[in-house]
Structure 1
Amino acid sequence: MESQAPYGHALRTSCDKCRSAKVKCQREGQSCSRCVQRDEECTTTFLPRKVPKPDRRGRILHMESRIERMESILAASGLADEVATTPATTGSPTTDLDDRLSMLLLHDEGNSTFIGTASNLSLFSPAGLNWITNRTNCSDLSDLVKKRAQEISIFKETCLYPSHVHRGQAPLPPKNVADPLISCYFDTLNSVIPLFRRDKFEQLYVQQYSNNPPKSTSWYASFNVILALGGLLSLDEDIYAISEGSTRTYTAALDYIRNSWHVFTELSLNCRDFMTIQALITMVRPLT
């Protein structure tokens, strides 16, 4: 016997037997054809199809209870009272907050400055060096940067460009002179900022002083700028000296950098190998 459909619900067209068997239910009066053939009772159970609405009031009450518990915890810990009384009692500008947010500078006038990779303030700028000095109570880094900035820069207006004095390219040094310069570069700067693989470089370096030196422009630029950086670094480390003194080493470093910039046009327009990118990046390092 078919049960009556509850009010407000659509009439189901399949009985319980046909629904469980997943077959089409063909009605024939009070029963379907499948139940008549099997001599079974044809029943239809109606289920509510309307999705119940969410209990918004219950959710709001739950959120209110959570907020009340959080407020009670803050009141018990004393943090809420401390936050409310700190501006009136301490009167310190931004020292404590500045200590907690070490990468955010909060100034007395109200503006803020962010020191990081996404900011326009470098840690090696005067403001950044002062910030480091205040945090570490040590001015060694600031003194070092200021000392380097006061030294004569290798890049002057006509330093890298050919003139009536510098025409053509300077000759490369012999291997016994180049060895300590190459070692100084790889032991100091390349170990901190690895740009060249030493084993790959050594293969071309050995070939450079053979009967069949490399013909690549990118190798020529890379080799010269590494010689220049090695010479400049050796002056700082005081590990390489020649008979004419440090002035000769400094002049030779300028010649090697000038050699690399002599081929800059060909390097940037015609060369397509990976060492070209390495050479261009290395050529920028003396500028920074």
Structure 2
Amino acid sequence: MWRSCQTAPTARRAAHRCVLASANSSHILVPAINSGSRAVRGRGAAPRRRSAPQRSRSRHKHTGDLDTHAHPHVQHPLTGHFLPLLPLARALRTQGHDVAFVSAAAMADPVGAEGFEFIPASPGVDVAIAEVTRRTGANLMTDPSPALVAEFFAGARVDLGVDEALTGARAWEPDLVVSEHCDFVGPLVAAVLKVPSAVMGIDPALEPDILDALASTAHSRYLDRGLQAPAHAPSGRWLLDACPPGLQRDGALPPLERIALRPEPHRGPEGTSRAARVPGTGRPRVLVSLSTTPGTRRPRSVRCCVR
């Protein structure tokens, strides 16, 4: 059974801090996932505080459900990795949690328009791509091989941004870190800070060879900090899965406790006018995206959505 982001995934109603992290838009450190929490979405430099009503700062211990004080969201500095996290972030805020995003500075305006706290950290996409090219001599945009994809998401982005993200997260003191499934900064931050983490599946699972390359590339980043490296990618305690089962790749989900979330269409901030309907029919306009680098099953997935 799918749960609406408005009703799940929390059981208790305690004040938490939440950070949301994503690979293309921002790293979100989610110090709280339930009510009265703080969540951060962005990448980790010093947090930029926004005025907000005073909330209880009492801290609750994690008790096994997805209900901790603060939840950070971590995401990549790309809009397509930021928008799928918004329904969850808005739901957490409605339940009384504090939410923050961690990401590159370019994501400050989109995050600010939603009224969430923003922690700048990590370089922009262009800088990370250039670093991959410098290390490998190959062009990720023309040759998105598993090795290059892994070097971008689990290698260069982590090396260039995790220290900033840690600085911001330590100042923000999250209770939970939520990362989208292409982000590898958030899970490492959670491991260093010893706070629970969840991964949000914003897409069908990646191809097995890419997942293996990602886990292999991330491995040394954990060992370098004296941490046990995850055996698989993505990692965390919970998988918040927003992918409809009919579009999911068979046998590709990680061995995590799965919480199915109902996919929700994107809507702009409160007060945003609706898009014009199709002239003559009055029907709504629907945009179906192939993503940045469509895999072999993406066209099939899009056809299913269109039908």
TM over 0.5: no
Larger-gyration structure (1/2): 1
Please give the range of the TM-score, normalised by the shorter of the 2 chains. Answer: under 0.3
- Structure (1/2) with the larger strand percentage: 2
> TM-score, normalised on structure 2?
0.19
Q: RCO higher in 1 or 2 (8 Å CA, sep ≥ 6)? A: 2
Structure showing the higher helix proportion among its residues: 1
